[in-house]
Structure 1
C-alpha cells in the first residue's frame, strides 16, 4: 500500500498499486477533478513531484510533458509513495 499526497491541499490517501490514482482518490472520498476516466478529457492531469508510477497503456503525453512530470491520474498506478500537484 502506498500513500499519495495531493498538493496544494495536502490531502493524503492510500493507493494499492492495482487501481488508478484517480480511483484510489475517489474511493477515499477525495474530490479529484475528472470527467471521462480514460485519459481523453485531461481533467485529471496533474504533476508528479515525487514517486514512481506505471501505466497499463501509455498516455497521450509528449516526451517533454512526461519529463516535466505530467501524468494522467485516471491511467497512472502508484509504484511507490507519490506527491502530486493539482494546478
Structure 2
C-alpha cells in the first residue's frame, strides 16, 4: 500500500510505500529533506504533521506533548495514511 505525502507550504508531493519511513521515501524521490543521523537523535528531520497518521516501530524521543502537537521524526515515522507535513512551527 502506498500513501501520498505533501510538504506544505511548497506543495511538494511524493509517494511513500509500505515499510518505508517518511525520510526514506523523500530521499528516494529526490526531495531535499533535512536529515543527518537518520536514527532520530539529531532532530534534523523533525517536522510537524498537519494531517494524517504515522506510527513508529520504536518510540520516538518526543514527549507526549510534542506528539500531541503533531511533531514527527521523519526518519522513524511510517505513514498510516496520506500526510501533510511542514517544517514551519
TM range (shorter): over 0.9
Q: How many residues align?
A: 87
SS at structure 1 position matched to 2:40: coil
Match of 1:32 in 2: 33
Aligned 1:4-83 pairs, distance under 5 A: 4-83=5-84
Q: For the residues of structure 1 that align with 2:77 and 2:46, how far apart are their CA atoms?
A: 10
1:17, distance to aligned residue in structure 2 (A): 2.7
Structure 1: state its 5+ residue gaps: none
Query: How does the TM-score come out when normalised to structure 1?
Result: 0.97
SS at structure 1 position matched to 2:41: coil
Q: For the residues of structure 2 that align with 1:29 and 1:2, how far apart are their CA atoms?
A: 17
Q: For the residues of structure 2 that align with 1:36 and 1:25, how far apart are their CA atoms?
A: 15
Query: How does the TM-score come out when normalised to structure 2?
Result: 0.95
1:7, distance to aligned residue in structure 2 (A): 1.1
